Structures are given as structure tokens and as C-alpha cells.
A = this chain, B = another copy of it.
Amino acid sequence: MVETTDATRRRTRLTRDAVLRRAVAIADEHGVEALTMRRLAEELGVEAMSLYHHVRGKDGILDGALELVLDEMLDAVSRLEPPDLADPRDWQPAVRARILAARTVMLRHRWTPQVMEARNAMTLSAARHVDGIVALMRAGGFSWDLVHHGLHALGSRVHGFTQELGEPEGGDAEAEAVLAQIAPHIPHLVAMFSEVAHDEPGSTLGWCDDQTEFEFGLDLVLDGLERLARQG
């Protein structure tokens, strides 16, 4: 019993940052519902209650994990080369680039929309990200009022996502049966499906390209704002 030192000092000390990083990793890989105190502790080689020395509780972990993602977003956005803004219209591609950069981060952490809705966190990084967009809008000649409305119009798009319609997703057999059941009641949707589908190579259903659709909606909003900014 002399080697206690070696046996007890089993790993490096736990830190708030390590806890949150692991939390993000778990949510990324197994979904946010798999993120439990016990599992998180276990993956860190520790008991659940030990986490409470570094974090306010489950809510604190959710907030902290979200904060990490938002930091990552701000970081990705900050790496973009600064726009020159010679023309007032240059605000638009600049904002577009920032939002798409934020989106690439969000795509690595698909649980963020869900969590952001449940707890509405106000983070420094998130605020700074929005602040940068506000600055660009101002440089584009927006009135403060238009900036304000514009932010609301963008909504969650500033963070790289939009509430997706629950369109049929995977080739679930049961879901397809349900669709067949209700198809008679939604003739226009069915027409759209059959019309747009056969342009694509793939299957009947998984034909919505998220990125394309996101950019389409984003540009629609940005174009509308640009028009309003120009006409005063």
C-alpha cells in the first residue's frame, strides 16, 4: 500500500472548461438528451456530484455549453477578413458572410437551436456577434429603427439557423405510410413534391438542401433590407 500516490492521483484536476467541453462533445455526438450529470461525470472519470464544484448545476452546464458554442461562432466570424465598405451596399455581402460563418459553427452543434429556445441565454459572444452586424448595417446607411427591425426580421438566422418545418426527413417507412394517408388532402403540396423532386438525383423525399434553402431565405431578407435602406 505504498503506491497510493500513483493510484489515487488518477488524472489531471477537473476544471470548469474541461467539464463544458465534454458536455459539448456529448451533445454533439449523442444529442442533448444524452447529456446527463452522471454520464458527463463518468466520461470525465469522476462522480456526478463533483461537477457541482465547477458548475452551477445542470442549467449551468447547458448555459456554459451554449456559451462555448457562441464563443466559437464569434471566433469564426472574427477570422473573416474585414470588409472595405467602399460602397454603402457592401454591408450586405459582409453580413451575409458573417451569418454563414456562424452557420458553419452551428452545423457542428446541431443541438444549439433547441437549447437556445429552452433557456434564452444572453451571452457576451452572442451580443458581440450581433453588435458587429449592427455596425455593418449602420455603415450601410440603416436608420436605427431599420437596424432594429432588421435584427428582428433576421431572427435566429443571425445564429445560423432557422426553425425548420417538420418536413418528411429520413426514409422512414411509417412516415411514408402516414404521408400516403393524408396525401389526398394536400394536393398542392403533393404537386410541388412531384414537380421539384425529379430534378434531383436522389430519393423522393430527402431533396431539400438545407444550405441552399437557408441562403435563399437569408438573401431574401437581406435584399429586402437593402431596398428599405436605400429608399430611406
Contacts and interface: CB of A to CB of B under 8 A. Distances in A.
B191 A144 contact: yes
Q: Is the interface of A mostly helix, strand, loop or mixed?
A: helix
A185 B128 contact: yes
Contacts of A131: 185-189
Contacts of A158: 165
A182 B124 CA distance: 6
Contact of A185 (B124, B169, B191): B124
Interface string A184-199: 0111110110011000
A48 interface: no
Given A120-B166, A166-B122, A188 B224 contact: no
B165 A156 contact: yes
Copies in the complex: 2
A152 interface: yes
Interface stretch (A2-10, A19-27, A34-42, A214-222): A214-222
Contacts of A151: 165
Contact of A220 (B145, B162, B186, B225): B225
A179 B127 CA distance: 10
A72 to B, nearest CB: 17
Contact of A216 (B122, B149, B156, B186): B149
A93 interface: no
22 contacts: A122-B175, A124-B182, A130-B186, A132-B188, A134-B189, A144-B192, A144-B195, A144-B196, A147-B192, A148-B192, A152-B165, A152-B208, A152-B213, A152-B214, A153-B221, A155-B162, A155-B217, A163-B163, A217-B221, A220-B220, A220-B225, A223-B224
Given A152-B214, A220-B225, 19 more contacts: A113-B163, A116-B166, A126-B166, A127-B185, A127-B186, A127-B189, A130-B189, A132-B188, A135-B188, A144-B195, A149-B213, A152-B208, A152-B217, A153-B221, A155-B164, A156-B164, A161-B163, A220-B220, A220-B221
